[in-house]
Amino acid sequence: MIAVIASIVLLGNCASTVSANLKPQQPQSLLQQVIPKPTGNNGYEEYLMACDIVRAARNTWLFDATPQRFEETIAAFEVQPPKGLTKELLEEWEMDRPSLEEYQRAKKYRHWSVLQLRREAFAGAGKALDVLNRGNKKPVFDPRPNFNLETLFPEYAQMKALAKLAVTGAYVAFAEGRSKQGTQYLCDAIILGNNISDGVLIARLVGVAIQSIGFAAIEKHLSNLSSLDARELESLAPQLIGSTPMVLKSIDKEFKFMDSSLDEIFNSAVEMDYFSNSEETTIADESANQFLAGMSPAQEQQLISLCRVKLKRHHALMR
């Protein structure tokens, strides 16, 4: 037994040494994570490609940067902490203080105009909007055939950033008198939000947020729109309201996900021990945990069946 333990320790040390000598790997692209085998027939693939471009540019902070914010960052960094702070309060003060990177960035760009900042942002990631436009011209559907409790959605944060990039591109285009292009960028952002809204509930929420970003930008640029631009926006209406409401599709998929997850919840040791692992465990929580842990397989199936019946009732009510 001792020899086995020694061998494991030795192997662990060797593995650590090898790992330390390896160069850090680049993070896997969103396209590789979500769709390992693209088909070219799903606009969601272009969405992921566009998100990868935005992520690689590492300049999303430029999308809403202003000279005033840079001045505020500089002032907040250079101010000295109040005297007499305890160690704990000083640590909290330091946590609220801008980072050195943010300070150096603010010093570099403090005298740039908003238009210069938006042009800088667009120059770094603008090609993502061409990819987004291509995706919007294809059928779009979530590539995941099924969801479970471990399913991740790493692309959603970047999709919101992509929508903000579209607003940035529109700002530059309108400032340069290219209203048709600016309108197209905003239309593409709204279509993106609409197309991802028929997934599970989190997809619906992200889609609504993206559409809100696009519509807010349209309101700001109303005076920049020509009659042709207005007609282009008007042409979106059938696509947005002409089919089954996205919220109903989202409800259907959310309930399907919940239904398919019931067995996993009850069969997972991690989920069964949820209450006892909580930092705010109460007597009621402990009792529930003991009750669940003491159930026979037949009782578990009976409880799962009861949960399914209630889920279907709630689903019917929400439909």
Question: Cα(306)–Cα(269) distance, rounded to whole angstroms?
Answer: 21
Q: Is the pLDDT of residue 54 over 80?
A: yes
Look at 13 and 222; give whichever has higher pLDDT.
Answer: 222
Question: Cα(210)–Cα(196) distance, rounded to whole angstroms?
Answer: 10
Q: Is the pLDDT of residue 10 over 80?
A: no
Instruction: Give start and end residues of each alpha helix (H) in the chain.
Output: 2-21, 30-34, 43-57, 67-78, 87-96, 100-109, 114-125, 127-136, 156-175, 179-195, 201-220, 227-234, 237-241, 246-267, 269-272, 274-277, 283-293, 297-318
Q: Is the pLDDT of residue 8 over 50?
A: no
- Select from 34, 68, 25 the least CA-distant residue to 144: 34
**What's phi and psi for 223, nearest 5 deg?**
-70, -15
What is the pLDDT, as a whole number, of residue 1?
40
Mean pLDDT (the chain) is 85
Q: Is the pLDDT of residue 260 over 70?
A: yes
- Select from 208, 207, 213, 215 the least CA-distant residue to 155: 207
Tokens of 209: 């947020």
What is the pLDDT, as a whole number, of residue 278?
54
Look at 251 and 120; give whichever has higher pLDDT.
Answer: 120
Question: Cα(140)–Cα(120) distance, rounded to whole angstroms?
Answer: 31
Q: How confident is the model at residue 257 (pLDDT cuts 50, 70, 90)?
A: confident
Q: What is the pLDDT of residues 156-184, one digit of tens each?
A: 999 999 999 999 999 999 999 999 999 99
Average of pLDDT values for 183-205?
94
Dihedral sign of CA atoms 175, 179, 185, 189 in order: positive
Q: What is the pLDDT of residues 197-242, one digit of tens each?
A: 988 889 999 999 999 999 999 999 999 999 999 999 999 988 888 7
What is the pLDDT, as a whole number, of residue 70?
98
